A = this chain, B = another copy of it.
Amino acid sequence: MATSVLLTGAAGRVGSAILGGLGQKYDWQLLDREPPPTGRDEEVTYSDHEYSVADLSDRAAVREAMADVDVVIHLAGDPRPEAPWDSVLANNIDGAHTIYELAIETGVEKVVFASSNHVVGHYETSRTPEIYRTADSYRLDGSELPRPSNRYGVSKAAGEILGRFFHDEHDLSVICVRIGNLTKDHPPIDYERGQAMWLSYRDCAHLFDCAITADVGFEIVYGISDNDRKFYSLDRARERLEYAPKDNSADFAEVEPPQ
């Protein structure tokens, strides 16, 4: 029987990348506070799967969606880097706590938490733009302390730490994926930072596939393609999750400025 996976925030962009690649591979439960998007992405057929419309603050609805699943991929939350504090406090920090707590209550084995490059955004401050270029060997690898670049990043760092707590306390498997810059078809144009942290749709689906199947306790990994330009190490993702990305923003030479 296929592994059963709850995808929160299913209607968002990361959700569509995951479902586009893995829609047939797992037994999906979808949850979002918005109804399924229409017409945006013909590769994803939301109607193939059970879909609940509920906010994370509706604990009963979230619990029901989580009742019979093995794994939760938790994408839901306010995704705006510029989101105000009250929103990220409620939607991202309190929301993540709800997911972890219900995962323990319902016997879920693993939570894959959508974290963000904004958790470590301020490491870039003193090294730009060199840090975005191929010649720079500087790497963040997930062992560094958070240095968020905004309140959204603070909230994602808190979600990681909540995951660590629920892992240590309850032996829940938790994998935090610090997602880079997810764009479809090609890397961001004229945006070196975005090219350095580009994550293609197929690498995104593959990375979450790896996270679903990996046998790990707690991990923080970076979610980017195998870009020539990079300042995030892929070592942990390769070693612990067997992530094998296929894309590289440098292969889209026409959209790369001179190095």
Contacts and interface: CB of A to CB of B under 8 A. Distances in A.
Interface in A102-129: 122, 125
A71 interface: no
Interface in A33-91: 85, 89
Contacts of A15: none
A161 B143 contact: no
Interface stretch (A18-26, A147-155, A179-187, A196-204): A147-155
Interface in A136-187: 143, 145-151, 153-154, 157-158, 161-162, 164-165, 168-169
Chain A interface size, as a band, is: 20 to 34
Contacts of A97: 85, 89
**Which of A158, A161, A162 neighbours the largest number of chain B CB atoms within 10 Å of its CB?**
A161
A228 interface: no
Contact of A145 (B89, B150, B164, B169): B164
**Which of A89, A148, A158 neighbours the largest number of chain B CB atoms within 10 Å of its CB?**
A158
A147 B146 CA distance: 13
A158 B159 CA distance: 9
User: Per DSSP, are chain A's interface residues mostly helix, strand or loop, or mixed?
Assistant: helix
B143 A145 contact: yes
Given A89-B93, A93-B89, A158 B154 contact: yes
Given A122-B165, A145-B145, 19 more contacts: A85-B97, A89-B94, A93-B158, A122-B164, A122-B169, A143-B145, A145-B220, A146-B161, A147-B164, A147-B168, A148-B161, A148-B165, A149-B165, A149-B168, A149-B169, A150-B165, A151-B165, A158-B161, A161-B161
